[in-house]
Amino acid sequence: MYKKKFYQVRNLRIYLTFFKSTRKIFLFNFVLRDRIKPKIDRIMKRNILVFVFSFAIINVCMSQSSLDKNLPKNANPQTNVEVNKEYDENGNLTRYDSTYTYFYSSSGDETFMNDSVFIDFQKHFNQPFGFANEPFFNNRFFQDSIIEKNFNHDDCFESQIKQNMEMFNILYNEMMLEMEIFKRESFENQTPTNQTPKTNRNITFM
């Protein structure tokens, strides 16, 4: 009888010990899930963002350095500074001016600057609009050899617009003349045969 009670008390102590340890583990998991784990997640996210940001900066710096190495030597401008001084007969400074000039030289390799500037300029016009399936300035405009040849000139667009306007005026006058002829022919078909319409064939448009 005594041994049986002893074993019961012993088993009860084991159960209590197991319950306490299980309760501690449960509380630890609860604290880990609700308090510690969010902090760990925030730290990991912060580290990942710092890593990605650092990698992007390093990549941009390396690409910029490689572009600078690939640039031709004549891509940098040649600078010149001139200082002019004038003195009177007593040696006093009466006039002073300075001139700073810089220019780019192609020296036979004009495709680098022309192509890069022209392509960058073309990007501004390749934006699609809602009322058309094509961009406002499609590729046919920029693939024209005339505008590409005259792109470096100051009157590139002005000369191109003048040529287009002259061509438009010619086409417009031809179209108006043809429409006027059609209209007069229509009136002549409706005029009685015994009457001769007063017409003037000298049609001019400005």
| Residue 110 within any structural domain of the chain | no
| Residue 101 within any structural domain of the chain | no
Specify the higher pLDDT residue, 117 or 102. 102
**Residue 125 banded pLDDT, cuts 50, 70, 90:** low
Per-residue pLDDT reduced to its tens digit, 6-42:
445 455 555 556 555 555 555 555 555 556 566 667 7
| Residue 204 within any structural domain of the chain | yes
Q: Transcribe 33-63 into DSSP letters.
A: IIIIHHHHHHHHHHHHHHHHHHHHHHHHHHH
| Residue 92 within any structural domain of the chain | no
Q: How many domains does the chain have?
A: 2
* Distances from the Cα of 70 to the Cα of 2, 67, 118, 167, angstroms: 96, 5, 19, 44
Q: How many CA atoms are closer than 13 Å to the CA of 10, on its beta-carbon side? A: 6
Give the other-Cβ count within 10 Å of 135's Cβ: 14
Stretch 155-161: mean pLDDT: 67
Per-residue pLDDT reduced to its tens digit, 130-147:
444 444 445 445 555 555
Give the other-Cβ count within 10 Å of 154's Cβ: 8
Specify the higher pLDDT residue, 203 or 177. 177
Nearest to 3 by CA among 11, 32, 67, 139: 11
| Residue 136 within any structural domain of the chain | no
* Chosen domain end from 27, 47, 70: 70
| Residue 158 within any structural domain of the chain | yes
| Residue 24 within any structural domain of the chain | yes
**Max mean pLDDT range (60-69, 88-97, 117-126, 137-146):** 88-97
* Chosen domain end from 26, 45, 70: 70
Q: Which residues contact 1 (CB under 8 A, 6 or more apart)?
A: none
| Residue 91 within any structural domain of the chain | no
Distance CA 11, CA 5 (A): 10
> For position 91, what pLDDT does the model report?
84
* Chosen domain end from 70, 92, 124: 70
85: enclosing H helix or E strand: strand 78-87
Task: Give the structural domain span for 59.
Answer: 1-70
